[in-house]
Amino acid sequence: MADYRKILVLVLGGHSYREVVEIAGCSHRDVVRVRQEVQEWGLTSAVAVSDTELAQWFPDGRRRVSEEYNQPDLSRVLASMKQNRHFTLLLAWRRYVDTKDAGKKYGYSQLFCALFTDYLRTYDLVAVLRHEPGWAMLVDWARDTMDVVDTVTGEVPARCCSSRCCRSRARCSAAPMRI
């Protein structure tokens, strides 16, 4: 949300639209809205405007919209993911949508995934692997393994596939390896 007090101070300071957008990090539309209020009320100082008046002139519509939606139980989603490694975010969203609660439901790619990511960041539940490119190989073991059967002998060797990418994507390789 735009900082309307900061925009107001800049507008009253005689800054141009572009300068206000650059300094305040807001949209051109926000500057236009503040200029309209300044002209309508004949303001000359930002001190004369209270926070309550700013909130009335520029209401935050996000609160109203978020109240229309059912909030998912993200702690329960996380607990389910910890209990069952096959439990995915898509499955959690489907359960969320299937609930009988009144109100709107978030779309999967629209906000459900973003809400879950924010929840993880808020409680510092995300492990980020940092490395110098080309100096470390990170291996990602995803899902269950698949048995490979030797068609000649019928033997099922305990093997898996290893993939490596080093320095550039042009030098990637995959090879079977013993567990």
Burial readout 122-146 (b: 16 or more C-beta within 10 A, e: otherwise): eeeeeeeeeeeeeeeeeeeeeeeee
The predicted pLDDT at position 148 comes to 73
Q: Is the pLDDT of residue 170 over 90?
A: no
In terms of pLDDT, which residue wins out, 75 or 170?
A: 75
Q: CA 13: distance to chain centroid?
A: 36
Q: Is the pLDDT of residue 128 over 60?
A: no
Q: Would you kindly state where each structural domain of the chain is located, as residue ranges? A: 4-59, 69-122, 132-179
4-62 confidence digits (pLDDT tens): 999 999 999 999 999 999 999 889 999 999 999 999 999 998 888 988 898 888 887 66
Q: How confident is the model at residue 96 (pLDDT cuts 50, 70, 90)?
A: very high
Q: How far apart are CA 56 and CA 41, in angstroms?
A: 13
* CB contact set of 130 (below 8 Å; sequence gap of 6+): none
The predicted pLDDT at position 146 comes to 66
Q: How confident is the model at residue 133 (pLDDT cuts 50, 70, 90)?
A: low
3-state DSSP call for residue 104? strand
Query: Across the chain, what does the average pLDDT equal?
Result: 80
Identity of the amino acid at 33: R
Structure tokens at 145: 């393994």
Contact 93, 108 (CB under 8 A): yes
Residue 163 bridge partners (DSSP): 174
Ramachandran region of residue 27, left (φ > 0), alpha (ψ -120 to 50) or beta? Answer: beta
* CB contact set of 87 (below 8 Å; sequence gap of 6+): 80, 81
142-162 confidence digits (pLDDT tens): 556 667 778 888 887 765 555
Closest among 152, 153, 172 to 164, alpha carbons compared? 172
